[in-house]
Structures are given as C-alpha cells and as structure tokens.
C-alpha cells in the first residue's frame, strides 16, 4: 500500500477519489500547457486579469501549476501537491476578486476545483478521513 493511499474506507471510495483527482489533474495539465506554450490567448487572458503582458510570467505561472499538479498526481507527494494547488487556487480566486469578475462562474471556480481536489484526497487517504471526520 502506498503512503498516500493508506486504507481508504472501501474500494469504491478509492476509485471515486482517483476519478476526482484525475479531473483536477487533467484540468491543470490543460491549464499549464496553455500557459507554458504560451499561446497568445493565454497571455491575453493573463493581461485581462491584470498580469503583465509578459510571456515569461505566463510561463512561470504555468510551470508552478504543472509542478504542483505533478506532485499531486504522484502518490508519495499527493498531500504536498494538494497544499500547493490549494495555494495556487487561492491566488486565482484573489485575482478574480480584485478585478471584480462574476462570483459563481469565475471567482468561485478555484473553490470548486479545490473541493474536488480535496475530495479526491479525502476519498483516497484514510489519514485525511481521520483528520477530517464527517461522521463518527
């Protein structure tokens, strides 16, 4: 048994956790690759969010996202990756709050992704279930 998948409640919970984690990983790979390229659309979107029109800044943010995602995807480092991705989402949320984007579609998207991210870890790892017991 790997370190990050310590005795989940059931095989169903384990597979549901893996599926939720896969959604986050796939989204973040897509996001990071677009920023690493960086495609013009990514640099333009970053400019609209108040970031400098510098492709190197876009690449840096994409690299941070991809490294955090890789750490999340690897069982031994999934907790560190989850923490780093939570911070990454916090930065995205604060950016959207600062420029006044719509609440439910833009600003809270990082919250939605964070809930899916931590839901995946929770369902895969009994240590997280013990730390955050929803029922006794």
Q: Specify the DSSP class assigned to residue 80.
A: H
Q: Are 29 and 69 in contact (CB under 8 A)?
A: yes
pLDDT in tens, 56-92: 999 999 999 999 999 999 989 999 999 999 999 999 9
pLDDT in tens, 104-122: 888 899 999 999 999 999 9
Distance CA 125, CA 131 (A): 10
Specify the pLDDT at position 59. 93
pLDDT in tens, 38-54: 788 888 888 998 989 88
Give the model's confidence band at 34: pLDDT under 50 very low, under 70 low, under 90 confident, else very high: very high
Distance CA 43, CA 81 (A): 25
List Cα–Cα distances, 24 to 28, 131, 134, in angstroms.
Answer: 6, 22, 22
SS3 assignment, position 22: helix
Q: Which residue did the predictor score with more confidence, 134 or 130?
A: 130
């Amino acid at each position: 048994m790997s370190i990050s998948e310590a005795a989940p409640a059931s095989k169903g919970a384990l597979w549901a956790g893996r599926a939720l984690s896969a959604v986050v990983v796939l989204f973040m790979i897509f996001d990071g690759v677009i920023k690493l390229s960086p495609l013009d659309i990514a640099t333009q979107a970053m400019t609209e969010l108040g970031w400098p029109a510098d492709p190197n800044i876009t690449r840096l943010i994409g690299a941070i996202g991809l490294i955090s995602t890789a750490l999340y995807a690897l069982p031994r480092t999934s907790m560190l990756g989850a923490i780093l991705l939570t911070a990454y989402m916090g930065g995205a949320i604060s950016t959207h709050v600062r420029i006044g984007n719509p609440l439910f579609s833009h600003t809270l998207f990082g919250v939605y992704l964070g809930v899916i991210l931590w839901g995946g870890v929770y369902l895969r790892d009994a240590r997280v279930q013990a730390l955050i017991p929803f029922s006794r």
